[in-house]
């Protein structure tokens, strides 16, 4: 439930910028710049490469950014319960046992990541384990295991790769137009092309993230349904209500919300950049499920 998507998008954007600098240094733009077709193929190769490099880095980046500690051997009853719960859920959906980790934060959070569903990472925060009931925590872990079983990170990586392709392609088209029209460069690719294409790639990359976030919100509903099927619908709903109550406790009054770090609400433009749907929407969707077993 922690936004692993934001981490993935940030890593992807950084990787794409590094690749773009490398492309410029080695003069690859000039090599493939003869036709739109060759540029599109070039953009596809590097766009997909950037996306899958980001995915390959996702586990190590998640561990480093959260300080997650992988449980090699349980040190206490809570860790043993967490390992056994994840093991049962992984067996139930037919995936390999993920690495199980705990990261130290009072916030109620969890995440799953990895490029291979049989070698994923699932992590829970200390705040989640300390403040949620076992039933609620079980539902949260079932939600994360469902992300893994559904192949959500790979799906979003493919979507990001396609978007990277168009970001690279159109940023270079824009760079070429500006280089010719503004900087009056008629031979090869000048500094105007490089600067403009880099700026355009950054801006288009941010806009492309709106599409990734949209698909991320859809996948959250699927993971909720998977969590309900694994742990029970009422447990999944209770877990979301617990998250809702925690969020409400952390919120500022309406008259001060605009000055808080959260910016006050998730409506309008801000909603487009959210990786998760509103908790009310998720609870309502679960309540309408007939397939989930209410354990």
Q: What is the pLDDT of residues 77-86, one digit of tens each?
A: 999 999 999 9
Q: What is the pLDDT of residues 101-121, one digit of tens each?
A: 999 999 888 999 988 999 999
Q: At residue 5, does pLDDT exceed 50?
A: yes
Higher-pLDDT residue of 273 and 92 is: 92
**What's the predicted TM-score (pTM) here?**
0.83
Residue 120 lies in a domain: no
Q: How confident is the model at residue 20 (pLDDT cuts 50, 70, 90)?
A: confident
214 CB-contact burial (10 Å; exposed 0-12 / middle 13-18 / buried 19+): middle
Q: What is the pLDDT of residues 42-59, one digit of tens each?
A: 889 999 999 999 889 889
Residue 189 lies in a domain: yes
Q: CA 54 to CA 214: how far, in whole Å?
A: 19
Assess whether 144 carries a catalytic annotation: yes
Domain tally for the chain?
Answer: 1
- What pLDDT shows up at residue 219? 93
Residue 93 lies in a domain: no
Q: Which of 144, 186, 225, 255 is catalytic?
A: 144
Residue 176 lies in a domain: yes
Q: At residue 215, does pLDDT exceed 90?
A: yes
Q: CA 212 to CA 153: how far, in whole Å?
A: 11
- What pLDDT shows up at residue 271? 79
- What pLDDT shows up at residue 180? 83
Higher-pLDDT residue of 138 and 266 is: 138
Q: What is the pLDDT of residues 222-236, one digit of tens each?
A: 999 999 999 999 999
Average pLDDT, the chain: 85
Q: Token pair 């989640």 is at which residue? A: 128
Q: How confident is the model at residue 251 (pLDDT cuts 50, 70, 90)?
A: very low
Residue 195 lies in a domain: yes
Q: Which of 57, 48, 70 is nearest to 7 (CA)?
A: 57
Domain of 170, in residue numbers: 4-61+158-208
DSSP 8-state secondary structure symbol assigned to residue 251: P
Q: What is the mean pLDDT of residues 5-10?
A: 75
Q: Per-residue DSSP letters for 115-141?
A: S-TTS-EEEEEHHHHHHS-HHHHHHHH
């Amino acid at each position: 439930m922690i936004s692993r998507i934001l981490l993935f998008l940030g890593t992807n954007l950084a990787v794409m910028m590094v690749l773009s600098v490398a492309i410029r240094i080695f003069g690859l733009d000039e090599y493939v710049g003869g036709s739109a077709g060759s540029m599109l193929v070039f953009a596809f190769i590097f766009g997909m490469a950037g996306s899958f490099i980001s995915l390959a880095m996702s586990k190590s980046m998640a561990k480093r950014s959260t300080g997650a500690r992988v449980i090699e051997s349980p040190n206490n009853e809570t860790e043993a319960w967490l390992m056994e719960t994840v093991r049962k859920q992984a067996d139930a959906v037919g995936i390999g046992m993920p690495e199980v980790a705990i990261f130290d934060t009072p916030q109620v959070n969890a995440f799953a990541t990895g490029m291979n569903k049989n070698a994923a990472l699932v992590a829970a925060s200390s705040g989640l384990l300390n403040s949620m009931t076992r039933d609620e925590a079980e539902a949260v872990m079932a939600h994360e295991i469902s992300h893994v079983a559904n192949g959500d990170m790979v799906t979003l990586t493919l979507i990001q790769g396609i978007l990277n392709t168009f970001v690279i392609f159109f940023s270079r088209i824009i760079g070429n137009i500006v280089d010719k029209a503004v900087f009056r460069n008629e031979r090869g690719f000048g500094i105007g092309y490089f600067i403009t294409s880099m700026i355009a790639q950054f801006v288009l990359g941010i806009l492309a993230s709106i599409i990734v976030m949209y698909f991320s919100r859809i996948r959250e509903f699927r993971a909720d349904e998977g969590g309900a099927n694994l742990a029970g619908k009422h447990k999944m709903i209770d877990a979301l209500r617990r998250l809702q109550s925690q969020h409400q406790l952390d919120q500022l009054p309406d008259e001060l919300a605009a000055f808080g770090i959260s910016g006050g609400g998730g409506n309008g433009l801000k909603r487009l950049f959210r990786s998760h749907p509103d908790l009310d929407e998720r609870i309502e969707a679960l309540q309408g499920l007939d397939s989930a077993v209410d354990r």
